Chains A and B, each alone.
Chain A
């Protein structure tokens, strides 16, 4: 039995067999995502749009002052993040990028992870990439972090001694306590999760997973999550971004 659970050395799910969690939802939940008029995440997107226009910080700058019309300037941004940031020599996810602008350009305090404002801005920015294929950089400078993320995905952890791959690579499509196990592609983030009854980030969802396998969860925004996020986005490369989506 232990052998059966040993994480096989086989490659990731074949590209053509990848499936967004969208496909596993009921028609009603899919409709909730597809129609902005009834997608609860629209409430956050509109808040984000308001924040985009609002001047902030010692510099008295709004996002719009530099980035103008988000529909054009932010197109593709969410699909490319986490991305390499030359000035810090590391990768930043979308939240990190937004906060860098806040601290460096607006001269304002960064927004707390999972705060309403950060979720709203992330939802608004991510919305501008909806439909675009996920395309994070996999090159010499991102590879070490990508490999760290992949190793984390395959590492057994927690009291239940499970790796992400056990459920989301090997048993995706099967059921866990009545719920269908998804492949776990981050195509819809930030997501309105029905379980949360609110929009939340990928890191929040990753925390759920770690708590679920009774492993020590990292702090939101932790390096471990960002590496894993990079790997998960690379694993989902080419799949269309659905943000902000709806998931059970």
Chain B
């Protein structure tokens, strides 16, 4: 499932610090759990998140199994110019999720 939720203002003043909150639908299987029969459930997590602003990476995060399921990543960035923010989540087993948002900066 590659559902994501991204929350940020649609417009901002130049130089304003904007808050961005993201949610990604992912079980974040730790690799430490065992089934009732004792078998280890293999790790399957999101490992990396990046945010690019008009092509420039402005934030990234490395995630480990200790991040809770359906990870929340909230951070800030300076509204420098109008344009596009691209969000990308990648992880185990070829997981990829992306989201694009526009921002108008006056």
> Does chain A touch chain B in the assembled complex, meaning CB atoms less than 8 Å apart?
yes
Interface residues of A (CB under 8 A from B): 37-38, 40, 42-43, 46-47, 116, 197-198
B91 at the interface (CB under 8 A from A): no
Asked if A43 contacts B25 (CB within 8 A), the reply is yes
A37-B7, A43-B5, A46-B5 known; A198-B69 Cβ under 8 A = yes
Q: Which of A37, A38, A47 contacts B3 (CB 8 A)?
A: A47
Min distance, Cβ B71 to any Cβ of chain A, angstroms: 9
Interface centre among A42, A43, A198 (most CB of B within 10 A): A43
B56 within 8 A of A: no
CA–CA, A17 to B72, complex, Å? 35
Chain B residues in the interface with A (C-beta under 8 A): 1, 3-5, 7, 21, 23, 25, 27-28, 68-70, 72, 74
A132 to B32, alpha carbons, bound, how many Å? 42
Residue from A37, A46, A116, A198 having most chain B Cβ neighbours under 10 A = A37
Task: List 17 contacting pairs A-B, 8 Å CB cutoff, sorted by A.
Answer: A38-B21, A38-B72, A38-B74, A40-B23, A40-B69, A40-B70, A40-B72, A42-B5, A43-B5, A43-B70, A46-B3, A46-B5, A47-B3, A197-B28, A197-B68, A198-B27, A198-B69
Q: Which of B1, B69, B72, B74 contacts A197 (CB 8 A)?
A: B69
Chain A: which residue is nearest B8 at the CB level?
A37
Q: Known contacts A197-B68, A197-B69; decide if A38 and B27 are in contact (CB<8 Å).
A: no
A38-B69 Cα distance, complex, nearest whole Å:
13
What residues of A have a CB within 8 angstroms of the CB of B28 in the complex? 197
Q: Are B27 and A197 in contact (CB under 8 A)?
A: yes
CB distance from B19 to the nearest CB of A (A): 9
| Interfacial chain B residues near A198, Cβ < 8 Å | 27, 69-70
Instruction: Pick the contact of A43: B3, B7, B21, B68 (CB < 8 A).
Output: B3
Chain A residue nearest to B19 in the complex (CB): A37
Taking a contact as CB atoms under 8 Å apart, the answer to whether A42 and B68 are in contact is no
- CB of B70 within 8 A of CB of A37, answer no
Q: How many angstroms between the C-alpha atoms of A38 and B7 in the bound complex?
A: 9
A43 to B70, CA, bound (A): 8
> Shortest CB–CB separation between residue A31 and chain B, in angstroms?
11
Q: How far is the CB of B35 from chain A (nearest CB, A)?
A: 16
Residues of B within 8 A of A116 (CB): 1
